[in-house]
């Protein structure tokens, strides 16, 4: 339905049909993706495309998957334009790491040099780089575990009583 007003042509906005047609191998690939991919957002995209190919409406899929309608449209357009590569592009990987590679390298060098607590390693990082540690000690611990180090919390030694107690 169009109307002419001056030189402008106004058209009624009809909902755009968003269709995805999948071959049998593509369906199997998306089923595998929706079940086993390590990133949740890719599993959601695969499931959304399977539902879209099954004839469900974009809004229903968006509500079920708790995403916006625009996201479902974007997945369909990416799939239609570039296939699986289009669907798998765009993973941001989450929040940037709090510790830079230089800080982690300093921490690893300090841990290799001598036996230190996490707090001592953090202080060494602050000395070398001249800035406070930009994260919590737990984050430093995770970075060191990724580098192959493991730490246990220090325990207070239990001192035995000097006198032996006899059992009654």
Place of tokens 């001598």: 114
Backbone angles phi, psi at 3, to 5 degrees: -130, 150
The pTM for the full model equals 0.49
**Same domain as 84, residue 108:** no
pLDDT in tens, 45-60: 999 999 999 989 999 9
**Same domain as 63, residue 123:** no
The answer to the question of residue 160 being in a domain is no
**Same domain as 134, residue 113:** yes
**Same domain as 111, residue 68:** no
Q: Which of 88, 113, 135 is the last residue of a domain?
A: 88
The answer to the question of residue 2 being in a domain is no
The answer to the question of residue 159 being in a domain is no
The answer to the question of residue 4 being in a domain is no
C-alpha pair distances (Å), 81 with each of 11, 77, 85: 26, 6, 9
The answer to the question of residue 157 being in a domain is no
The answer to the question of residue 119 being in a domain is yes
The answer to the question of residue 95 being in a domain is no
pLDDT in tens, 108-143: 999 888 888 889 999 999 999 999 999 999 999 999
**Same domain as 125, residue 65:** no
* Structural domains counted in the chain: 2
Query: What residue numbers bound the domain in which 34 lies?
Result: 16-88
pLDDT in tens, 145-159: 988 887 666 555 555
Q: Which of 88, 115, 131 is the last residue of a domain?
A: 88
**Same domain as 113, residue 62:** no
**Same domain as 118, residue 76:** no
CA distance linking residue 144 with residue 146, whole number of Å: 5
Mean pLDDT of 17-26: 85
Residue 144 and residue 163 in contact, taking contact as beta carbons nearer than 8 Å: no
């Amino acid at each position: 339905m169009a109307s002419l007003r001056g030189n402008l042509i106004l058209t009624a906005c009809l909902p755009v049909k968003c269709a995805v047609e999948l071959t049998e191998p593509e369906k199997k690939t998306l089923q595998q993706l929706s079940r086993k991919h390590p990133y949740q957002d890719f599993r959601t995209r695969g499931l959304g495309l399977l539902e879209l190919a099954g004839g469900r409406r974009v809004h229903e899929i968006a509500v079920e998957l708790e995403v916006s309608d625009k996201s479902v449209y974007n997945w369909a357009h990416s799939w239609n334009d570039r296939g699986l590569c289009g669907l798998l592009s765009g993973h941001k990987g989450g929040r940037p790491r709090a510790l830079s590679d230089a800080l982690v390298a300093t921490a690893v060098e300090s841990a290799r040099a001598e036996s230190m607590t996490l707090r001592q390693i953090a202080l060494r990082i602050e000395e070398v780089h001249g800035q406070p540690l930009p994260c919590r000690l737990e984050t430093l611990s995770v970075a060191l575990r990724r580098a192959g180090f493991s730490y246990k919390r220090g325990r207070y030694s239990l001192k035995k009583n000097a006198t032996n107690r006899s059992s009654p």
